[in-house]
Structure formats: structure tokens, C-alpha cells
Structure 1
Amino acid sequence: MKKLQLKHYLIIASLIFGMFFGAGNLIFPVHLGQLAGSHWLPAAIGFIISGTLIPLAALLALAITRADGIYGLASPLGGGFALTFLILVHLTLGPLFATPRTATVPFAMFSAHFPAAMQPWALLIYSAIFFGIVYYASLTEGKITDNVGKILNPAFLLLLFIMFLFAFINPMGSAASTRAAAGYAGAAFPNGFLEGYNTLDALAALAFGVTVVSAIRAFGLKKEKDASLALAKTGLLGFLGIALIYFILIWLGASSLHYFKLSANGGIAFAQIANHFLGLFGEALLALLATITCMSSAIGLVVAFAQDFHKRFPKISYRTFLTFNCGISFLIANFGLNTIISWSTPVLMFLYPIAIALIFCGLTSKLFKNDSIVYRFTIFFALIPAIFDGINAAPALIANTALAKAMIAFASHCFPFFSLGLGWLTFGIAGYIIGLSGHLLKQHLGQTAKQMELN
């Protein structure tokens, strides 16, 4: 097959939508809308770029380089770096942040109905049941969840669509007349871009995106150009649906300030908005469906983690990695959603610049024949300020230390755009230009030496 038919585009687009949009993706755009207030539109554009376009670029990079995932894409940097980056990404998507978050996100949607003193105990019981079911379902490597996801995920989206419909018919107020939080009035776009890191979708695309690429090639598109073009079209279609939901949620978050104060996290905000439009029953139904969809996401994450690590370290069984992931995820989930987000932020500020640099190198790899010199200069130049960005975004326990304060003061003075959380940008561009120049020089010297041999 040289060209996909419409039904094939829709199949792949729905696969991309299902893979990258889950209940957890609801809370960050809603909270961003509350933070941005009247500046919600530039914040939404920034969020959509990092939350949808960069994951799409990651899929394209995998297709262009024919990499089998993170390790393959990062292999020009050497096996040690590739393995280290793979482990860091999987730990982030696994037991450290993303997997515990699958339990705390739906819990945050109904936690306000418990007295404050009871909430830790409620979370303990809820997360124990949640990860107990996840562990049991994952013993069969997640196969029993396929039909559940096919039925309940559309039901969740249908209820979400009904809430959106009510919001358009009877909006809570004008988003343009709400107040922005500190820092958003003058920098809504970069803050929205950085908030998009919390979706983790660029990292997920690197880790699991080869599934989408393989699905496209399964239709018979063997030529790299045909597969990449089909991926770009289906990816745009799938991520367009996600971007539309993000856009509406950010607007809803901003307009909700007419009724509610700025919430501690997006889970609370989403529950308040759901109650406003759908009543207590609708809020409870959304929380129930969010629990099931998040549970489905958790099963996918723990299965992928156990499979990938068992493949890399075959002496350790799949069940051992599964038990480790579920156990650590349960423990970390009980620190609560706010704590998980606050500790994940510095990690993402460190990992995302590396991921973006790696994706860009993969996208343009044909220009320099996948020469490792370009990868090395680009990634390591981006890595330096990424360390400082991570320290700057760290919780007070780290950020208030003497060393951290000295590093932040140095970076604020020496790194362009550091105050916006984008200190890596100019460094990464400079590294890419130097690396590309090195490749061209090496190529020129090689051609000159070859010509001299012929003469």
C-alpha cells in the first residue's frame, strides 16, 4: 500500500488520541487557565505547542531515524548515555511521578468531600485498592483492560463533551475579565509552554511512540517518506483533537474564576467545574470514570515499565519489576498530588530540554547523515542550562540551599531567557550550529583527502 485510505487515517488518529490523552491530562490545562486568567489565550498556545506539537515531532523523529524508542534515538550519543536517559525517562513515567499520579488525579476530584483530617486515610485506602487492582490486572501484561478501555474511555469523553456543551450554552463568565496570577500577566506564553511539560507526552512519545510508527508500517507503508508523511497527517489529526480539548479546558479554567478561587491543583478545579455544570451526580460520575481511565493508563505504564526493564535486564523477572513499580507508586501516591507535582517539576525542567534537543536532532538527521557530532554538541549544550533550570524549579528544601542560590544567581546573570525557564534554548541552538559546522567541516576534509588520494 502506497497511500492510506480515510478509514486508516481515522484508525491511527484514534490510536494516537487514546495513547496520549487520559484523565490525567484534564487537570493541568484547567489549572493553567486559572493561573493565566485573562491571558489564557497565549498560555493556551504555549501549552498546546509543548503538549501536542512536540510529542508529534517525537513520533516523526522516531519514524525518520527508524529508532526503536528512546535508546535507539539516543544511541548516537553512546550506549551509556542512551541507557541512562532511558532509565530516567522510564522512572519518570513509572514509579516516581506519572504512575503515582494516575491514582492521585482521580482522588483529587472527590477528595474535598472528605474532612481534611480524613483525607490522608482516604488516600491510603483508595491508592491501596487502586494499585492492588493495577497489579492484578498487569500480571497478564494488561490484556484484560483492552475491552474496558474501548467502552469506558468513550463514555468518559461523552460526559466531558456534555459538560463542554453546558459551558458554551451557559458560560460561567468572560475569561477576558479575570485576574492572572503573578508571573502570567507578562509571560503567559512561556509559562503555558512549561506547564505543558506536566503532560509528560513528549517523554511518553519517545518511550512508546514506536507503537504508532509500527502500526502505520503494518498497513504496508515500507518507504520511509510514505510512512513519515502518513504519520504527520494522522498525528496532526489525533493531536488536533487533544489540542481542542486543551483549549476548551484552559478557557473553562480561566472563566471559572468568576465562581471559584484559584485552586491548589487542577483536580480540585475540575471537580468544582463539573459540579457547577453537572451537579453532584455528574461530578461523582466523572470521578468514577476518571478512576477507571486512570487505572487503565496505570496498567499500560506499569506493563511497559516491566516489559522494557525485563528486556534490558533479563535476569530480573517481569513480575519483580511489576511488583517494584506498583509498590513504589503506591508509597509515592500517598504524598499527595501537590507534592508529586512540586517534585516532578524540577525533573521535567531537566529532562524536557534534553528530549526536545534529541527530537530536533532526529527530525533533521538527514541533513547531517545522523552524525553523532551534531547530537553530542546539541544535547550537551542544552544539558548545562537544563541542570540550572531544574535547580531553579526545585522545592524550597533544595532551592533555598546556599549552593542552589549561588547557581541560580549565576544562571540569572549569564543565561539568556533563564528567568522564563528557557535557559536551554540559546545553548541548544548554539550547540546544534557548532555540531552541524563540525559535521560539514569533517565532510569537507574527508572529500579533500579523498580527492588528494585520487590525484
Structure 2
Amino acid sequence: MVIMMSDKLNFKRTIITASLIFGMLFGAGNLIFPVHLGQMAGAHWLTASSGFLISGVLIPLMALLAISITRSNGIYDLAKPNGRRYALIFLILIHATLGPLFATPRTATVPYTIGIAPHLSASNNSIGLLIYSAIFFGLTYYFSTRQGRITTLIGKLLNPLFLLLLLSIFLLAFLNPMGTTENTPLTTPYLHAAFSNGFLQGYNTMDGLASLAFGITVITAIKSFGIHKQRTISLATAKSGMIGLAGIGLIYLSLTWLGATSLHHFKLAANGGTTLAQIAHYYMGATGDALLATLATITCMTSAMGLVIAFSQDFHRRFPRISYKAFLRFNCLLSFTIANLGLNQIIAWSTPVLMFLYPLAITLIILGITSPLFHNDPLVYRITTGLTLIPAFFDMLNALPASIHNWAFTQGLLGFAQHYFPFFNNGFGWLSFGIAGMLLGLTCHFFNHQKAVNSSLEKNQ
């Protein structure tokens, strides 16, 4: 079959690509963290949601654009101006986080926690998780070996089914709300810093990192429609990304609202999965339990497929002697093992890693988008990244579990950062460093460029 060349992505293909983006990004964390945010933010849920939407929707869209604009084949190429060694380390850290260490195991533990665990005794939960996660990752591996069908499988079949199931819960909740949000209680961090805390909660979705990994899959899908002009690919990426991520944003708002209103009937839970299960049971009883278990399994499996495929593709590209399927088996097996540690442990240890990686990812994304302005000069990348690394390390320390966070050595380092780093206490210690690094890098770039121009003029005189 010959694919006709085209200078734009038509409406049908735009929707298919948008659905692909939606299906790859919307998964475990996207279900539980907005609900938990709503419970923590209470009456300030809308302000908190604004911050959450920036880190959970806008930054992933920018990541897709950065991959397209720089014509990168993935995370490694995007980070390569910082040096090959840095690019490889960054690639490994991103994929380890998205892959077998945190995000991929979470895709199994979330649907189990909210759909299966409430119906088992505490003594049977371990064996239940073992069986469920084995089946989950077995199916994930099976579907992921059929790469050619991923667009059809995710974009045309699973997404509409998932949306139909989710809409059922939303419709019942909006017709018969559990209460209003105006006088809903809120936790102390959200009294005066709802926006910034909402922004930081958006890190937990990992979508900013996932978009860097999935970007090449989206670009490849667009190219498969016969589009090869760089400007057209970038425009198609932006258009499809805005549609797909707008859908995710609407779901975020709905889930956050559900979490806030749930406080009229349920106490603040340890995680959003517990609250989501309570909400579904409140509105639909046993039917709601079955609906949520199905919904969570479907959406989390689509996310798991995207994660393991991106992991295997990138590592096979970097280490071609090891087959794609070998990396796929390794990822699924290790993810299965870590999933059996449980959801709370996975969340506790992923947070400090995300506090370290997200500042580096955000600055890299911004540099990628603006790279045409400074001709992708490695000097700008290295100065910006070098300065961002410093506060990112301290942000990681500040988010460590209490058992390490309370060490005297750790507290000493954090005391230094709190005293000298602007906005550190709000989780944004990297912001001033990143801005200063980029301004310094651009100044050096334009100075060197002008110096080269002047030297060239002198030679020609």
C-alpha cells in the first residue's frame, strides 16, 4: 500500500494522533494524584489545579514540541548538547524512572489498589497483588511485542472504551454531588501555597518525562501519514498534542473536584487510589467497584505499553547488540518484581527522584524549544544545566523519606539551601538558578557570535 504524501495532517489523522498521545500519557498517576490533590487542597482545589495543569499538561506538550523542533530521535539526542556522557546518564535515569523502578510498576499497583485490594483481606493482599501483577505484565508484554499495531490498539480501541467508563462516574457525580467545595477543609500546605503545591504534585504524573520518551513515537506516527516537512510535523505535533492533552486536562479538573467534594463523606486518605475506590462505591456500589477495576486496568495497561515500548526502543537504539524483545522482557520482569513492594512504597521513593529530574527536564525542554534562537549552541545547554543541577540535588534531599531526611547531615545541607537558595522552601529552588544559567549562556553565546563576526570582518578588510 502506497502512502500518499501530504503537506498537512487532516482532521481524522489529527484525532488518531491525539488519541495516541492521550492513551500513552494517561495512566496510573493521572487517576490517583488529581483526586488526592483535591482532598488536600479542599476549598482551594481550583487554584491548586491551575498549578497541576501547568506541570501535568503544558510541560508535556512543550516536551513533544522540543522533540519535534530539535528533530531529536529521543531523550538522548535532545540532551546530547550537554555532552554524550550526560545524555546517556540522563536517558538511563529517565527510563529507569518511567520504566522498571517507578512508573511502570505503578501501572499495576494502582488498579490493584483501587479495584481489587478493597475486596481482599489484609493477609491475602500480597498473594493477590502477586497474581494480578503477573497477569498484568504478561498481557503488557504480549501486546508490546506487536509494535505495528500500537496506534490502532491504543488510539482506536482502548481509549474510547476507557472514556466511556470514566464518563459514567463523572456523570453520576455531577448530577448528585457529594457536597460543595466552598467550605471544604484543606491541609496546611494549601492554605497559602495552593498553586505551587499543585504544580509540584503534577510531577507525580511523570507526564513531562514520559513525553520526552514518547515524543519520537508521536513523530514517527505523524511521519507514517506521509508528512515529512519539519514545519508541518511541528505544527501537527502541536495540534494533536493540544487536543490530546486538553482531554487529559479536563479529566484532571473533574478528578480534583471529585476529591475535594469527597471530604464531605470520607476522610483524607493516604493516596488517591483509596479515595477513588470510595467514590465509585458511593455512587454505584458493587457495580462501581467492578467499573473502576476495569477502567483502571484498561487505562493503566495502555500507559504500561507505551512505557515499556519507549524504554525498549531507546535502549535497543543505544545498545543494538541487545534485542528489543530482550529489553522488553527485562523491563516487564523487573516492573513485576518492584510492583509487589506496594503502591505506598513506590510513591515514597519516586518523589525525591522526580524532584531531581523534573528541573533538569524542564530546563532541557525550554532549551530545546528555544534552540533555533541560539543555533543549538552546547554552551547554552551546559551552563543552564550545570547551574540547575545544584538546586535539583538539594530538592531531592528535601523530598527523601523521613528516615533519611531527618539525618543530621541531611538537615545541615538543607539548612544551607534554605538560607541561600531563593524559593527553595516552596520547591522551586531550581527556578532562579535555571533562569540565571540560561541568561548567562545566551550572553556568552551572543558574545562569542559577535566576536566571530568581528574577526571575520577584520580578515576580509
TM over 0.5: yes
**Aligned partners of 1:197 and 1:148: how far apart in 2?**
24
Match of 2:92 in 1: 87
Aligned: 1:428 with 2:434: yes
Match of 1:10 in 2: 15
Partner of 1:209, secondary structure, is helix
Q: State the shift of 1:128 in Å.
A: 2.7
Unaligned 5+ segments in structure 1 are none
Q: Return closer, same or farther for 1:321/1:193 CA change in 2, 3 Å cut-off.
A: same
Q: Return closer, same or farther for 1:148/1:7 CA change in 2, 3 Å cut-off.
A: closer
Aligned residues: 455
Q: State the shift of 1:398 in Å.
A: 1.9
Query: Out of 13, 25, 28, which is 2:30 matched to?
Result: 25
Letter in 1 for 2:204: N
Q: Return closer, same or farther for 1:145/1:285 CA change in 2, 3 Å cut-off.
A: farther
Letter in 2 for 1:59: L
**Aligned partners of 2:224 and 2:140: how far apart in 1?**
30
Q: Return closer, same or farther for 1:147/1:56 CA change in 2, 3 Å cut-off.
A: closer
**Aligned partners of 2:150 and 2:370: how far apart in 1?**
40
Unaligned 5+ segments in structure 2 are 1-5
Deviations 1:208-231 (Å, cap 9, x if unpaired)?
112222333444443333332332
Q: State the shift of 1:254 in Å.
A: 0.4
Aligned: 1:345 with 2:351: yes
Q: Return closer, same or farther for 1:148/1:378 CA change in 2, 3 Å cut-off.
A: closer
Aligned: 1:127 with 2:125: no
Deviations 1:309-351 (Å, cap 9, x if unpaired)?
2222223333432332222212211111111011000000000
Q: Return closer, same or farther for 1:347/1:382 CA change in 2, 3 Å cut-off.
A: same
**Aligned partners of 2:208 and 2:55: how far apart in 1?**
8
Query: 1:250-269, aligned counterparts within 5 Å?
Result: 250-269=256-275
**Aligned partners of 1:23 and 1:396: how far apart in 2?**
25
Letter in 2 for 1:423: G
8 Å CA contact retained: 2:100, 2:335: yes
8 Å CA contact retained: 1:137, 1:145: no
Q: State the shift of 1:400 in Å.
A: 1.7
Query: Out of 35, 38, 55, which is 2:43 matched to?
Result: 38
Q: Return closer, same or farther for 1:234/1:142 CA change in 2, 3 Å cut-off.
A: closer
**Aligned partners of 1:388 and 1:267: how far apart in 2?**
29
Q: Return closer, same or farther for 1:219/1:145 CA change in 2, 3 Å cut-off.
A: closer
Residue identity over aligned pairs, in percent, reads 60
Query: Out of 152, 160, 169, which is 1:154 matched to?
Result: 160
8 Å CA contact retained: 1:58, 1:202: yes
**Aligned partners of 1:167 and 1:283: how far apart in 2?**
15
**Aligned partners of 1:171 and 1:398: how far apart in 2?**
42
Q: Return closer, same or farther for 1:323/1:2 CA change in 2, 3 Å cut-off.
A: closer
Query: Out of 311, 321, 325, which is 1:315 matched to?
Result: 321
Match of 1:372 in 2: 378
What TM-score results when the alignment is normalised by the length of structure 1? 0.95
Q: State the shift of 1:25 in Å.
A: 1.3
**Aligned partners of 2:128 and 2:9: how far apart in 1?**
49
Aligned: 1:388 with 2:414: no
Match of 2:3 in 1: none
**Aligned partners of 2:159 and 2:227: how far apart in 1?**
29
Q: State the shift of 1:24 in Å.
A: 4.0
Q: State the shift of 1:404 in Å.
A: 1.2
Q: Return closer, same or farther for 1:320/1:15 CA change in 2, 3 Å cut-off.
A: closer
Aligned: 1:239 with 2:235: no
Deviations 1:14-64 (Å, cap 9, x if unpaired)?
222222223541111011101111110111011111011001001111111
Q: Return closer, same or farther for 1:243/1:376 CA change in 2, 3 Å cut-off.
A: same
Deviations 1:344-366 (Å, cap 9, x if unpaired)?
00000000000000000011111
Match of 1:168 in 2: 174
